[in-house]
Structure 1
Amino acid sequence: MSNLLQSYYDEHKREPAELFIHGRTRFSDEEWAGFREAVPNHINLVGVRIARSQEMKLFAPGRVPVLRGTSHELSSRRALLWTTGFIPQLATYPGRETPNPLLIEVTRGEASLPIVLADIMGLTKVNFNACLFADGLPVTLRFADAVGEILTAAPISEGAPLPFRHYI
């Protein structure tokens, strides 16, 4: 986290106002304490849980599925977000089944849920690392998956490997 903040400062000549950390699960107290220790108190640190959900299906009238970007707020800190669906600019839905939403939950810190949802939509639009367009997962989680595949494919030479959370 300290390296991240230093890299940001080197590039922008200022500290970020806020940092968002994405994960598939809620952050433990120990994990959050470690993040919080590395980030100055004046920087808003926010933990966001992103998980696939089958909690709700939406069916649009007509022949096209729900519009990509549709959201449904469950509370002030939780929402369902359809990151796949009908794309008006392409006049198509590039999937085969009725789209499922992502469950987005602000689990730590304070943030505006509409801003969090807009940010996640932006991170699902184009994944330049894999040439994927609107594949449904934000690039933050997609990249973590790729790192995890590399870590599990490498031979273990000595000692037990660190838990996956140490690499994302």
Structure 2
Amino acid sequence: MGHDAFAHHALGSAALMLISALHVRPDQTATELVGTSSVPRATAYRTLQRLADHGLVRHTGETWALVPRALEGFGIRLSDAETGHTLAQGWDQVAEQHGTWGIAARRKALHTAERAAYQQALDRFAEHRSRAVQLMRKETWTGIPAKTNGQTVRPLQDEATRAWNLHTALYYKAGGTPWRMQRHSSDLATCYVGVSFYRSTSGNELHTAVAQVFNERGDGVVVRGGTAQISKTDRQPHLTVSDARQLLLDALAEYRTTHGHQPARIVVHKTSNFTTGETDGFHEAADLREIDHVDLLWIQRRGAPHLYRTGQLPPLRGTSVQLDARSLLLYTRGSVPYFRTYPGLYVPQPLLIRPATRGTDLLTAGMDILALTKMNWNNAQLDERDPLTLRTAYRVGSILRHVPAGARIATRYAYYM
């Protein structure tokens, strides 16, 4: 029955804590109960009186004790109950008398359903609303207090940094461009595509989360693809030739719709290796759009070798080492000369970049990835570890998993921030 009997007069958990304290040690004074039950003094006095009104406790002199049958709500029955005292009505009877039977279960189910419905409605509403909204949890600004002492557990940035983070995101959602990548006049117009995967809400099917498409300005669009399959070789999700081709074609179509032109160069980022089918599919899509420059980059986030430099600080941000003709080690986080220190809490983990096609300029690929780590407009931090193409993968996937397969989705990345 839970709190059903206590739903009337807002007794709640304070009543349960007092009853528990009296069950462990009967005949306590109100002052003693404040300490043994951890209930504030004023609340303890009010709650004890209400429990007495319900016939669950009795007051003898300065002490309080449970009456016989008071613990039957826990399934405890006292066989040697005294007959000279007024027996409690019992929790079930109290709940029925006040019309609160089952209210706790109904309230819990209602709140659970409301939270789920709100989250799904908010995620799906992105395709219908014309403006991107900014939601901020209370804990983002106040921190998450500990249950024991009320102190902040989650470390908070200073107010100025939090304000910059919030208003940078708002500025982008309002249609502005906070900053952009540097681009030389001789550089090709490039379309950066991040491919990631997510599971459906049922957990049975693995879908392509997105082709997260960005240009040099950081303007992003989102495209959902087909169902991926887990490879028996590396246990990683992969696309078929046709799915890879269609995913990139859809991404290029959204790119053209958004920016008014086709890119001259395509760069695809992926956290798993490229199969032959994926490589062929992406190249077929580029050939259909007559795009000659295609770079397919496998970006490994774990297992890369580490570098060490003289002194106590880690390598500088931007340090890269070409291990061989087909792999580049890149530190996207590290010591910053301007700060004369490393602005981080943990040892920085480098990225290992492996091209899936020949002819890729590893130095250019590394510079692109380093620049894309500065393009997350959801905050004002300019030294993210992952490039924007991969950084957004989890956030977008966690939203799209709630959208039905046939439903239209919002394509602008601002809706997923």
What interval of TM-score do these two structures reach, taking the shorter chain for normalisation? Answer: 0.7 to 0.9
Give the letter aligned to residue 91 of structure 1: R
Give 1:21's match in structure 2, choosing from 253, 268, 275. 268
- Alignment-derived partner of residue 77 in structure 1: 326
Aligned residues with identical type, % of pairs: 35
What TM-score comes out, normalization by structure 2 length? Answer: 0.34
1:70-98 per-position Cα deviation (integer Å, ceiling 9, x unaligned): 11111122111111100112333121222
CA RMSD in angstroms comes to: 2.5
**1:111, 1:155 → 2: CA distance?**
37
Which secondary structure state, in structure 1, belongs to the residue aligned with residue 329 of structure 2?
A: strand
| Alignment pair present for 1:133 and 2:382 | yes
- Alignment-derived partner of residue 252 in structure 2: 5
Give the letter aligned to residue 17 of structure 1: A
Unaligned regions of 5+ residues in structure 2, if any? 1-247, 407-417
| Conserved? CA contact 2:314–2:334, under 8 Å | yes
Q: Compare 2-11 and 125-134 and name the one that shifted more.
A: 2-11
Distance 1:44 1:146, change over 3 A: same
Give 1:119's match in structure 2, choosing from 354, 368, 381. 368
- Alignment-derived partner of residue 310 in structure 2: 61
**1:31, 1:8 → 2: CA distance?**
20
Q: Compare 51-60 and 135-144 and name the one that shifted more.
A: 51-60
**2:325, 2:382 → 1: CA distance?**
29
Distance 1:155 1:18, change over 3 A: closer
**1:91, 1:150 → 2: CA distance?**
39
What TM-score comes out, normalization by structure 1 length? Answer: 0.79
**1:79, 1:53 → 2: CA distance?**
14
Give the letter aligned to residue 265 of structure 2: E
| Conserved? CA contact 2:263–2:291, under 8 Å | no
1:19-61 per-position Cα deviation (integer Å, ceiling 9, x unaligned): 1100001122222232222212542211101111343222222
Please give the residue correspondences for 1:37-116 in structure 2 after superposition, counting only pairs within 5 Å. Answer: 37-40=284-287, 41-116=290-365
| Conserved? CA contact 1:44–1:109, under 8 Å | no
- Alignment-derived partner of residue 147 in structure 1: 396
- Alignment-derived partner of residue 97 in structure 2: none
Which secondary structure state, in structure 2, belongs to the residue aligned with residue 2 of structure 1?
A: helix
Distance 1:37 1:54, change over 3 A: closer
Which secondary structure state, in structure 2, belongs to the residue aligned with residue 108 of structure 1?
A: coil
| Conserved? CA contact 1:79–1:104, under 8 Å | yes
1:136, CA displacement in angstroms?
0.5
1:156, CA displacement in angstroms?
6.6
| Conserved? CA contact 2:374–2:382, under 8 Å | yes
Distance 1:7 1:64, change over 3 A: same
Higher normalized contact order (CA 8 Å, seq sep 6+, divided by chain length): 1
**2:393, 2:379 → 1: CA distance?**
13
Unaligned regions of 5+ residues in structure 1, if any? 159-168
**1:157, 1:7 → 2: CA distance?**
18
| Conserved? CA contact 2:279–2:356, under 8 Å | no
Distance 1:142 1:85, change over 3 A: same
Distance 1:78 1:118, change over 3 A: same
| Conserved? CA contact 1:58–1:66, under 8 Å | yes
1:127-153 per-position Cα deviation (integer Å, ceiling 9, x unaligned): 11344331210010011221122234x
| Conserved? CA contact 1:83–1:136, under 8 Å | yes
Which secondary structure state, in structure 1, belongs to the residue aligned with residue 266 of structure 2?
A: strand
**2:359, 2:378 → 1: CA distance?**
30
